[in-house]
Each structure stands twice: as C-alpha cells, then as structure tokens.
C-alpha cells in the first residue's frame, strides 16, 4: 500500500487543505475518527473496520483474512476454535 496520509484523506472526502493534518491526528491517536470516517477509510484500504482496533499484528492480519471468508467457512472456523486451540 503506497499512498500518503494526505492522499488517503482526500480520497475519503476530507478537504485537501486539512487532509494531511487530520489524517496525522488520526494516525498518532490524537483524535479518533468518527464511525463514518472509519468506514470510509476501511473501504478505501480494503480492510474491515475492526482492523483499526486490533491490538496486535496477528489479530490485525487475522481480522483481514477472516473478513474475506464466506459465512459458512466462518462458522466452521468457529467450531474448530471452540473445540481445539492448536493446529
């Protein structure tokens, strides 16, 4: 993914004059985006919204992989995880 903070901000509809500053505040955690902005960012980056709130690299990677599965496969994975914790 090669896109600047500013360009990403502009892509989701932030005014170009404030895009860099606002996106920087989001990235550093100074401000949290509202839910509508989070949804736009997620769509633009092709990640689920919950990705932004994953606290480890592994959880974030898994959130993206899981979001791409169909519901039936998700349900099978739930059963797998409920029955054992090793692979």
In the complex, the residues that contact its own copies under the rule CB under 8 A are 29, 32, 34-35, 38, 48-56, 58-59, 61-63, 65-71, 73-78, 80-82, 85-87
Contact between 5 and 20 (Cβ < 8 Å)? yes
**In sequence order, which residues have a C-beta less than 8 Å from that of residue 35 and are 6 or more positions away?**
49
Closest approach of its own copies to the CB of residue 16, in Å = 26
Closest approach of its own copies to the CB of residue 43, in Å = 12
How far apart (Å, rounded) are the C-alpha atoms in residues 46 and 52? 12
Closest approach of its own copies to the CB of residue 54, in Å = 5
């Amino acid at each position: 993914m090669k896109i600047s903070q500013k360009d990403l901000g502009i892509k989701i509809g932030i005014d170009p004059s404030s895009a860099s500053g606002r996106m920087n505040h989001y990235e550093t955690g100074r401000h949290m985006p509202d839910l509508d902005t989070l949804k736009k960012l997620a769509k633009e980056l092709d990640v689920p919204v919950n990705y932004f709130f994953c606290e480890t690299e592994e959880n974030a990677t898994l959130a993206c992989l899981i979001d791409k599965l169909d519901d039936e496969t998700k349900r099978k994975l739930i059963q797998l995880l409920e029955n054992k914790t090793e692979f």
